[in-house]
Amino acid sequence: FVISNDYCEIEIYYEPKIWRKCNSKVGDPVVVLAKYEHIIDHYLSPDFLLNINWKSNKSNDLLIFDAKYSAASSVRDYAIDKLINRYFFGIHQIGKDGNMGRLPIQAVWALYPKRGKNVVNSSFYSSEHCLGGSSPLLPSLGGMNLKPSKQTIFKNQLSLLMQKLAE
């Protein structure tokens, strides 16, 4: 699925398979985790991957959203750090020259439908540096309550993230 405007083109993937470099081509995200270096056919598959291709500078950013069917407290205490290790530290991208390019991951969010806080920040940043803080940093790392009937928070956070990426 592709969405485009004057500034960027956004490709949305559902459960994409992100392979190791030997099974990938130029421009693909690739698994770089040492844990799987001897498993040629290993791949990671987040629930959603957004590939944002910026028209102004011809670069791209990747946003990873992974569903967790847990309460906010479980996401905060157990899921977020694992997701960050798996997807932020575990994925890189093959550059145009065939070598590993810059790290494109700019967000890793756990999406959860159950009770608890609307937004769960990771333990990596102080609150002022989280997405809604006074001095937000990228990448955005955390979790968000997302229900079909209540999408406002997700839309607002995604809007903040897109504004920060476009700076």
pTM: 0.90
Q: What is the pLDDT of residues 110-162, one digit of tens each?
A: 999 887 778 887 778 888 888 888 888 899 998 888 888 878 888 888 999 99
Name the least confident of 15-24, 59-68, 149-158: 149-158
| Secondary structure E strands in the chain | 2-4, 8-14, 18-19, 29-31, 43-44, 48-54, 60-67, 91-93, 105-112, 119-121, 140-145
Higher pLDDT, 101 or 4: 4
> Measuring CA to CA, which residue among 109, 59, 107 is closest to residue 80?
109
Q: Which residue stretches of the chain are H helix?
A: 72-74, 80-83, 152-166
Q: Kindly indicate the confidence band of residue 8, based on its pLDDT and cuts at 50, 70 and 90.
A: very high
What is the residue extent of each domain of the chain?
Answer: 2-166
What is the total residue count of the chain? Answer: 167
